[in-house]
Amino acid sequence: VQLQASGGGLVQPGGSLRLSCAASGSISSINAMAWYRQAPGKQRELAARITSSGNTNYADSVKGRFTISRDNSKNTLYLQMNSLKPEDTAVYYCNALITDWSSGRNIYWGQGTLVTVSS
């Protein structure tokens, strides 16, 4: 099983980006999925999380600006980021609790995608 994140880049303050994370492999089911982020010199933190039934929760710092969603038919996770601020600059990692046919239930991480918010 692999998670492939994409969509990062350089954006001006106030701009928008959409991150994607596609899961592939011998997947039986995907439970909760999440986006974490790690800013330079800081610990990795949870940005947003979504359950298999679509319930969501957000860090206070992104609430009202970010929207997490998933397409279960495509095994893909999204993060729509609006009104971006310089403090949103970080490497964004996707994370998922996946049951695969060979090794059971495990947590998987994507490789990270860099988001830079700067003028």
Summarised one tens digit per residue, pLDDT across range 3-59 is 999 999 999 999 999 999 999 999 999 999 999 999 999 999 999 999 999 999 999
Q: What is the structure's pLDDT at 101?
A: 86
**What is the per-residue pLDDT across 54-113, written as a single tens digit (0 to 9) for each?**
999 999 999 999 999 999 999 999 999 999 999 999 999 999 999 998 888 999 999 999
Q: What is the structure's pLDDT at 103?
A: 84
Q: What is the structure's pLDDT at 7?
A: 97
Give the 3-state secondary structure percentages of the chain, helix then strand then coil, rounded to 5: 5, 60, 40
Contacts of 113 (CB under 8 A, 6+ apart): 5, 6, 7, 8, 19, 91, 92
Whether the CB-CB separation of 23 and 11 falls below 8 Å is answered with no
Whether the CB-CB separation of 3 and 109 falls below 8 Å is answered with yes
Q: Which of 52, 58, 97, 47 is nearest to 70 (CA)?
A: 52
